[in-house]
Amino acid sequence: MEELGVLGLLDLVGIFVFAVSGALAAVRQRLDVVGMVVLAEITALGGGILRDLVIGAVPPAAFTSLGYVLTPLVASALVFFWHPQVTRLLPAVLFFDAAGLGLFCVTGTLKALDHGLSPLHAVLLGVITAVGGGILRDMMSGQIPSVLYDRQLYALPALLGATMMAFAHWLDLHGGIVTTGSAVLAFLLRLLAMRYGWRTPRPRGVPD
Amino acid sequence: MEELGVLGLLDLVGIFVFAVSGALAAVRQRLDVVGMVVLAEITALGGGILRDLVIGAVPPAAFTSLGYVLTPLVASALVFFWHPQVTRLLPAVLFFDAAGLGLFCVTGTLKALDHGLSPLHAVLLGVITAVGGGILRDMMSGQIPSVLYDRQLYALPALLGATMMAFAHWLDLHGGIVTTGSAVLAFLLRLLAMRYGWRTPRPRGVPD
Amino acid sequence: MEELGVLGLLDLVGIFVFAVSGALAAVRQRLDVVGMVVLAEITALGGGILRDLVIGAVPPAAFTSLGYVLTPLVASALVFFWHPQVTRLLPAVLFFDAAGLGLFCVTGTLKALDHGLSPLHAVLLGVITAVGGGILRDMMSGQIPSVLYDRQLYALPALLGATMMAFAHWLDLHGGIVTTGSAVLAFLLRLLAMRYGWRTPRPRGVPD
């Protein structure tokens, strides 16, 4: 994602925080060090790998960048030795996770547009970039992906940010303000949803 | 699949019915609206996406066609508001699901042959096209894929239809009659298997 | 993997043994014949398919080679009819599985290097080639992948063999001795770990 140079650092921050959430899932499931590293890597990189396979950008960025592979290792080492402390910092982890969500839905959408996909399909890939790693993390740790049932607003903020990004692109609006604005929109909606406990609906007639 | 023009409508019918089965699985698992849409999309499009990734037809058809993405949304909306009624129509759903199975095993085989795969590998991809979405649906809803254990004839009709299609292609027989005949063969075998309760065997010595 | 001609037979032996482990998992989970064939194929071929998708070698080798698809069918037939006897031969199965592990981590690394990946990423793909099929097998049979929690040295020997292979390649050392040496290193470490019950650590403070 060279075209996103200035976002490079934020990108690694997002990968780091996603990796922390994968490594913490490994602690909860009582996995060993191998399971922790695998879950950290797949949570951080899985969404982007799925996106790159779909748009034909192979090898995916995760397999050409050193930082993408090493950052989850650092996150794993941290959680391996200090997971009780990391767990106590969970509010901060959730804050940065929301930032990662906002960033990835926007960069995923942009990369898909750059590869010639329609705005609708670029939005779809933006959301996959943002939530795909978490889905793979949950599937590999023997659980239904939390994004499918926990009724938190997680996929929807990503959908909104990706849609704003694709819509601006369709209007021929480009540049850092549009990109940042779309990411911040998803980020803020996610924070507000956590703060006020907003929930997605279940199918009509299914009791809570 | 532009080369299959006349089959286009039937194609969307198959996608619609597969999406309904995904959305109904979401109701059974008490997922929220996000889970319902994800399962509907993955059930309907997953098999074709796997096939296209394998043959290198990227972006997969699901990421270039508007109808492929929107049809599962319509199915989700229907099931979201009227799932009790849809459940009561299950025999009709199973009937159209059998039609989708027949269609997808044949179109999947054809597309693989068009991309230069051997008849054997084209058959394999035809079956993956037909059953892959259902396998992903079950894996994402925390269950062993039903096609692996429920002893219904589901993969086998797809295998038979795909084999007839590939064999005809190998004999240099082409055209709508061959395609339709192969799809109808799989469709009828699936209907007969449901009607008469035909079952696949378990390994020798494993009790029922 | 034509460039690995002399390793061709060993390659099929590895695929056969991986397929046996998939078919035995199907017996344990009481799947039917369809489930057995699917698990045998995915266990044997899944790691290589993931690798080939990532490096863009499509169709993956599994979809161009006749032997790759037929060998798991033979393994399935064997386990279908004689699984009690095969289970009694489990020590031999584990021995050959270790050989397959050694072979696949090395051939996977080599193929990734041939496709221009960095040594680090080639090592990653070597490990994915060796353990990816088993992970997919466990995910499809409704279990957490054993490599993530069972604390056996399984991924680590693959990591060591892949690293030796990539390091030799980086030193411009090539040829059969280097390849065989790397595979044997992983193989022996796996055998020693089984013999002496070596175990990977859990995160600090997680009780056994």
Contacts of A33 in chain C (CB under 8 A): 200-203
Instruction: Quick: pLDDT tens for B102-119.
Output: 999 999 999 999 999 999
Q: What is the pLDDT of residue B92?
A: 85
Q: Decide if C144 and A58 are in contact by the 8 Å CB cutoff.
A: no
Q: Which two tokens stand for residue A22?
A: 């994968």
Q: What is the pLDDT of residue B7?
A: 64
> B202 in a domain, yes or no?
no
> A105 in a domain, yes or no?
yes
Average pLDDT across chain B, whole number:
92
> B142 in a domain, yes or no?
yes
The interface residues of chain C toward chain B in range 80-109, judged by CB-CB distance below 8 A, are: 80-84
Instruction: Quick: pLDDT tens for B16-53.
Output: 999 999 999 999 999 999 999 999 999 999 999 999 99
Q: Would the pLDDT of A206 be above 80?
A: no
Q: Compute the nearest-CA separation of C98 from chain A (Å).
A: 18
CB A147 within 8 A of CB A135: yes
What chain C residue is nearest to A48 in terms of C-alpha separation? C54
Instruction: Quick: pLDDT tens for A65-105.
Output: 999 999 999 999 999 999 999 888 888 888 889 999 999 99
Q: Compute the nearest-CA separation of C199 from chain B (Å).
A: 29
From A95-104, B6-15, B173-182, C36-45, the region with the lowest mean pLDDT: B6-15
Instruction: Quick: pLDDT tens for A7-42.
Output: 677 789 889 999 999 999 999 999 999 999 999 999
> A192 in a domain, yes or no?
yes
Instruction: Quick: pLDDT tens for B69-90.
Output: 999 999 999 999 999 998 888 8
> B201 in a domain, yes or no?
no
C101 burial level (CB within 10 Å; 0-12, 13-18, 19+): buried
Per residue in B123-151, is it b (16+ CB within 10 Å) or e — as a string? bbbbbbbbbbbbbbbbbbbbebbbbbbeb
> A205 in a domain, yes or no?
no
The CB density around residue C200, as the number of other CB atoms within 10 Å, is 20
CA gap B168, B172 in Å, rounded: 6
DSSP reduced 3-state for A86: helix
From A6-15, B53-62, B127-136, B191-200, the region with the lowest mean pLDDT: A6-15
DSSP reduced 3-state for A30: coil
The CB density around residue B116, as the number of other CB atoms within 10 Å, is 12
> B37 in a domain, yes or no?
yes
Contacts of A66 in chain C (CB under 8 A): 118, 120
Q: Which amino acid is at C79?
A: V
Contacts of B35 in chain A (CB under 8 A): 145, 147-149
What is the residue-level pLDDT of chain C in tens, covering all 208 positions? Answer: 444 555 677 789 889 999 999 999 999 999 999 999 999 999 999 999 999 999 999 999 999 999 999 999 999 999 999 999 988 888 888 888 899 999 999 999 999 999 999 999 999 999 999 999 999 999 999 999 999 998 899 999 999 999 999 999 999 998 889 999 999 999 999 999 999 999 999 888 776 6
Of the partner residues C121, C144, C206, the one whose CB lies closest to the CB of residue A141: C144
Domain extent for C26: 2-196
Q: What is the pLDDT of residue A7?
A: 64
Among C58, C149, C153, C190, which would you mutate to test the A interface (most chain A Cβ atoms within 10 Å of its Cβ)?
A: C149
Q: Which amino acid is at C21?
A: S
| C53 in B contact zone (CB under 8 Å) | yes
| Residue B2 pLDDT level (bands cut at 50, 70, 90) | very low
Q: Which two tokens stand for residue C62?
A: 């599994």
Q: Would the pLDDT of A182 be above 80?
A: yes
CA gap C26, B149 in Å, rounded: 9
Q: What is the pLDDT of residue C1?
A: 43
| Residue A208 pLDDT level (bands cut at 50, 70, 90) | low
Q: Compute the nearest-CA separation of B63 from chain C (Å).
A: 17
Q: What is the pLDDT of residue C5?
A: 59
> A206 in a domain, yes or no?
no
Contacts of B135 in chain C (CB under 8 A): 140
Predicted ipTM? 0.92
Domain tally, chain A? 1
| A49 in C contact zone (CB under 8 Å) | yes
Q: What is the dihedral of CA A57, A63, A68, A71, to 10 degrees?
A: 160
CA gap A128, B59 in Å, rounded: 14
SS3 annotation, chain B: CHHHHHHHHHHHHHHHHHHHHHHHHHHHCCCCHHHHHHHHHHHHHHHHHHHHHHHCCCCCHHHCCHHHHHHHHHHHHHHHHHHHHHHHCHHHHHHHHHHHHHHHHHHHHHHHHHCCCCHHHHHHHHHHHHHHHHHHHHHHCCCCCHHHCCCECCHHHHHHHHHHHHHHHHCCCCCHHHHHHHHHHHHHHHHHHHHHCCECCCCCCCCC
Q: What is the pLDDT of residue A87?
A: 87
| A192 in C contact zone (CB under 8 Å) | no
Q: Compute the nearest-CA separation of C1 from chain A (Å).
A: 18
| A59 in B contact zone (CB under 8 Å) | no
Q: Which of A129, A94, A93 is nearest to A110 (CA)?
A: A129
CB C147 within 8 A of CB C155: yes
Among A28, A29, A32, which would you mutate to test the C interface (most chain C Cβ atoms within 10 Å of its Cβ)?
A: A32
Q: Decide if A27 and C145 are in contact by the 8 Å CB cutoff.
A: no
| A151 in B contact zone (CB under 8 Å) | yes
What chain A residue is nearest to C120 in terms of C-alpha separation? A66
The CB density around residue C31, as the number of other CB atoms within 10 Å, is 28
Q: Which residues pair with A199 in a beta bridge?
A: A152
